[in-house]
């Protein structure tokens, strides 16, 4: 069955006696993540804070945010920083992100962010550079944090109303998702995969079937996205936690709280001392 018809494919994969995938709701993401951490494993714990779909700087002024930023180490932003996609909006969002209390801010764009799409007439290299100065900006690329956590980010969503970063369903978008590395720990996309956080208010499934298939191959621990405001929340297939962190509701009012999870990272590797190098016979020139 073609992946260009997500609703029919959803019926085949997720419902009935022949369902291939499971989708269980997660009530508390933080508690869920803590249960996944091996208490006997001597590792550092890093806290990730997830948001998406902020839309328009006027909605992110402090007096208009109905929540406080939770404590954490890394902020993950899954796209739609703006409403109209202007460079001015991006500049204001960058100023806002700069003040958030996190040591790392990993950001992708979304379908509203026209000035960040190199294929769009409104593309602004200056807006992208401003974002890169204050954040880790990913566009179909990866970053490794804490020497062990690999995060891959993509702004791509299935084609809809000629928005930014749109790619046609089927073989075109499948090619995009094939670039997701096999060793990805946290996947950051703007749009959801089919069947997880993708149910639109009219009953239509908007998720990408080819993204679902790639996630099923890669099996990241967490897949963070947004795009479908009314589908905010967390589900799991038994291994990957699917986190729809859209902050805006269906009417574009900031309503939904940031979602938080914890992740165990390897102890940082210390370089051997001079004495240890000499004892082990290592060359001082290496």
The 10s digit of each residue's pLDDT in 224-262 is 999 999 999 999 999 999 999 999 999 888 899 999 999
pLDDT at 11 over 70: yes
pLDDT at 45 over 50: yes
Pairing of strands 241-244, 233-236: antiparallel
Query: In the predicted model, what is the mean pLDDT of residues 161-169?
Result: 94
Burial of 235 (0-12, 13-18, 19+ CB in 10 A): buried
d(CA 272, CA 277): 6
pLDDT given at position 56: 79
d(CA 39, CA 35): 9
pLDDT at 121 over 70: yes
pLDDT at 284 over 50: no
Provide the whole-model pTM.
0.90
User: Of 197, 199, 243, nearest to 220 (Cα)?
Assistant: 243
Pairing of strands 141-145, 136-137: unpaired
Order across the sheet with 259-265: list the strands: 136-137, 104-108, 74-78, 44-51, 259-265
pLDDT at 270 over 80: no
Q: Which residue has the higher pLDDT, 161 or 190?
A: 190
Query: In the predicted model, what is the mean pLDDT of residues 161-183?
Result: 96
Backbone φ/ψ region at 219: left (φ over 0), alpha (ψ -120 to 50), beta: left
pLDDT given at position 286: 41
pLDDT given at position 276: 58
Q: Does domain 29-265 have CATH number 3.20.20.10?
A: no
- Predicted confidence band of residue 107 (pLDDT cuts 50, 70, 90): very high
Q: Residue 59, CB half-sphere, CA atoms under 13 Å: how many? A: 17
pLDDT at 210 over 80: yes
Residues 48-97: tens digit of each pLDDT: 999 999 997 666 666 678 888 999 999 999 999 999 999 999 999 999 99
CB 49 within 8 A of CB 76: yes
């Amino acid at each position: 069955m073609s992946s260009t018809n997500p609703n029919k494919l959803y019926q085949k994969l997720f419902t009935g006696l022949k369902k291939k995938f499971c989708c269980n709701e997660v009530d508390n993401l933080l508690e869920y993540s803590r249960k996944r951490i091996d208490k006997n494993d001597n590792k550092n714990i890093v806290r990730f804070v997830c948001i998406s779909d902020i839309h328009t700087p006027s909605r992110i002024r402090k007096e208009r945010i109905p929540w406080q930023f939770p404590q954490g180490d890394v902020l993950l932003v899954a796209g739609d920083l703006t409403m109209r996609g202007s460079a001015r909006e991006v500049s204001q969002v960058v100023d806002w992100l700069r003040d958030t209390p996190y040591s790392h801010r990993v950001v992708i764009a979304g379908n509203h962010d026209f000035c960040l799409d190199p294929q769009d007439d409104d593309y602004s290299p200056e807006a992208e550079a401003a974002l890169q100065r204050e954040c880790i900006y990913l566009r179909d690329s990866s970053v490794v944090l804490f020497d062990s956590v690999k995060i891959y980010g993509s702004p791509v969503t299935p084609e809809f109303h000629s928005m930014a970063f749109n790619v046609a369903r089927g073989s075109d978008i499948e090619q995009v998702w094939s670039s997701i590395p096999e060793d990805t720990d946290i996947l950051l996309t703007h749009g959801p995969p089919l069947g997880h956080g993708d149910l639109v208010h009219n009953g239509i499934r908007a998720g990408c079937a080819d993204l679902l298939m790639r996630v099923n191959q890669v099996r990241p621990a967490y897949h963070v996205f947004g795009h479908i405001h009314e589908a905010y929340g967390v589900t799991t297939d038994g291994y990957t936690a699917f986190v729809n962190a859209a902050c805006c509701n269906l009417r574009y009012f900031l309503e939904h709280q940031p979602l938080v999870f914890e992740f165990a990272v390897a102890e940082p590797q210390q370089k051997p001392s001079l004495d240890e190098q000499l004892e082990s016979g290592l060359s001082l020139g290496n």
